[in-house]
């Protein structure tokens, strides 16, 4: 059970699992279909943040669809967080599950460290469609007259757009012929992108201000845009903390160190900690990508190789199928 139509991260991840299992599972008895089934033979996967699990903390369809968890063969929660811990309410909900599937070793550590039963926590990585995200299938866009570009992502404080802008504006001038593109959409009610960028530029002591992808987030659950970029053989600069530590290496990317941890000041995870990316090192890495294109291209090639080897749909389908078969054998 997942928010398939929500368009968010859990939605896209759930679809990636369904499509992977549908196309690649070797478990011939496994079929995706809608029918009645006996509850005591049913494995329920609640693919969402724990607040949606029965009893839900907000209006949603309850998962599992019965308050009696023991009615089912097994009840599994699939979830993740972007901070250094899991709050107490969510720990209790995780411990009601038979298993909690998380995407990375980082999450295994934070969930267990927060009080989730270690025997329940299982790492299940996320698949990526490496056939769709294949650079051989696409012709790059001609992005105006700029010689090289850096791509950033969401307009959200957690995503570190302010860090990226600061480093870009400090490192490059109009003479560098390097453009920064922010591919984003409105986040909640914060739609005033243009004025905020200009305020940021005007407050800097600067003249006027793709060679790579630089999502310099403060915390990330998995980093789907990041693995998609890596599958496309793009050289990536990414904060070396939280979920992406599962796949960032010195050979396939430019892991960005952090200056330290900072406190989340608002929202449901207020009081938790997440990373503060190092602005000075981000400047150095962006310059290195721009000035040493052959090395950056080699890292991009290695990134695609790693995405295919570790996260192809058929690889992840086998991992999920093995977990389901283990439960059925119990």
Say which range, 29-38, 160-169, 190-199, has the weakest mean pLDDT. 190-199
8 Å CB contact between 274 and 259: no
Do 68 and 189 share a domain, yes or no? no
Do 187 and 166 share a domain, yes or no? yes
Cβ-based neighbours of 322, under 8 Å, separated by 6 or more:
none
Which pTM was predicted? 0.86
Which has more confidence, 154 or 221?
221
Strand partners, 275: 261
Query: 1 in a domain, yes or no?
Result: no
User: Has residue 36 got a pLDDT over 80?
Assistant: no
Which has more confidence, 8 or 57?
57
Say which range, 103-112, 117-126, 145-154, 283-292, has the weakest mean pLDDT. 145-154
Determine the Cα–Cα distance for residues 113 and 102; give it in Å rounded to an integer: 14
User: Has residue 330 got a pLDDT over 50?
Assistant: yes
Do 174 and 105 share a domain, yes or no? no
| Average pLDDT of the residues in 11-27 | 85
- Mean pLDDT for the chain overall: 87
Do 194 and 88 share a domain, yes or no? no
Query: 4 in a domain, yes or no?
Result: no
Do 77 and 170 share a domain, yes or no? no
CATH classification at residue 251? 3.40.50.2000
Number of domains in the chain: 2
Do 143 and 210 share a domain, yes or no? yes
Given CA atoms 224, 225, 229, 232 in this order, what sign does their dihedral have?
positive
190 Rama class: left (phi>0) / alpha (psi -120 to 50) / beta: beta
Quote the pLDDT of residue 33.
55
Query: 266 in a domain, yes or no?
Result: yes
User: Has residue 221 got a pLDDT over 90?
Assistant: yes
Quote the pLDDT of residue 194.
57
User: Has residue 130 got a pLDDT over 60?
Assistant: yes
Do 208 and 282 share a domain, yes or no? yes
Share of the chain above pLDDT 70, in %: 84
Residue 54: DSSP 8-state: S
8 Å CB contact between 169 and 205: no
Query: 2 in a domain, yes or no?
Result: no
Query: 3 in a domain, yes or no?
Result: no
Q: Is the peptide bond before 55 cis (omega within 30 degrees of 0)?
A: yes
8 Å CB contact between 233 and 303: yes
Whole-Å CA distances, 314 to 277, 303, 308, 328: 34, 18, 10, 21
Do 193 and 52 share a domain, yes or no? no
Query: 289 in a domain, yes or no?
Result: yes
Quote the pLDDT of residue 308.
98
Instruction: Provide the residue range defining the domain that includes 252.
Output: 135-310
Nearest partner of 82 among 58, 111, 112, 41, judged by Cα: 111
227-260 pLDDT, tens digit each: 999 999 999 999 999 999 999 999 999 999 999 9
Cβ-based neighbours of 178, under 8 Å, separated by 6 or more:
146, 147, 148, 149, 150, 172, 211, 290
Quote the pLDDT of residue 200.
43
User: Has residue 22 got a pLDDT over 90?
Assistant: no
Quote the pLDDT of residue 238.
95
Quote the pLDDT of residue 313.
96
Do 289 and 182 share a domain, yes or no? yes
Determine the Cα–Cα distance for residues 213 and 294; give it in Å rounded to an integer: 16
Which has more confidence, 205 or 272?
272
Nearest partner of 158 among 73, 57, 272, judged by Cα: 272
Quote the pLDDT of residue 134.
95
Do 190 and 116 share a domain, yes or no? no
| Average pLDDT of the residues in 92-102 | 98
Do 220 and 201 share a domain, yes or no? yes
Quote the pLDDT of residue 28.
55
Quote the pLDDT of residue 138.
85
| Average pLDDT of the residues in 25-53 | 77
| Average pLDDT of the residues in 164-177 | 87
| Average pLDDT of the residues in 269-296 | 95
Say which range, 92-106, 128-142, 273-287, has the weakest mean pLDDT. 128-142
Do 121 and 234 share a domain, yes or no? no
């Amino acid at each position: 059970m997942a928010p398939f139509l929500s368009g968010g991260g859990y939605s896209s991840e759930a679809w990636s699992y369904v499509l992977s299992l549908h196309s690649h599972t070797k478990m011939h008895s496994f079929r995706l279909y809608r029918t009645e089934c006996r509850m005591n033979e049913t494995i329920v996967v609640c693919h969402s943040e724990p607040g949606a699990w029965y009893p839900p903390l907000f209006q949603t369809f309850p998962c599992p669809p019965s308050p009696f968890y023991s009615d089912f063969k097994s009840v599994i929660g699939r979830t993740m967080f972007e901070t250094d811990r899991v709050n107490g309410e969510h720990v209790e909900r995780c411990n009601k599950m038979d298993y909690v599937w998380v995407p990375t070793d980082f999450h295994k550590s934070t969930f267990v460290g927060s009080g989730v039963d270690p025997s329940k926590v299982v790492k299940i990585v996320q698949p990526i469609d490496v056939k769709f995200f294949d650079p051989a299938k696409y012709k790059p866009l001609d992005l105006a007259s700029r010689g090289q570009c850096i791509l950033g992502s969401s307009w959200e404080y957690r995503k570190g757009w302010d860090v990226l802008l600061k480093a870009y504006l400090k490192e490059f001038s109009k003479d560098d012929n390097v453009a920064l593109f922010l591919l984003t959409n409105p986040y909640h009610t914060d739609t005033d992108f243009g004025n905020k960028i200009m305020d940021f530029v005007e407050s800097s002591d600067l003249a006027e201000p793709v060679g790579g992808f630089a999502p310099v987030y403060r915390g990330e659950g998995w980093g789907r845009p990041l693995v998609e970029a890596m599958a496309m053989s793009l050289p990536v600069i990414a904060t070396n903390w939280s979920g992406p530590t599962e796949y960032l290496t010195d050979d396939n990317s430019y892991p960005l160190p952090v200056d330290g941890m900072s406190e989340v000041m608002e929202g449901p995870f207020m009081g938790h900690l997440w990373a503060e990316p190092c602005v000075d090192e981000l400047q150095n890495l962006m310059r290195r990508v721009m000035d040493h294109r052959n090395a950056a291209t080699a890292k991009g090639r290695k990134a695609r190789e790693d995405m295919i080897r570790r996260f192809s749909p058929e690889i992840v389908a086998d991992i999920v199928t093995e977990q389901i078969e283990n439960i059925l054998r119990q």
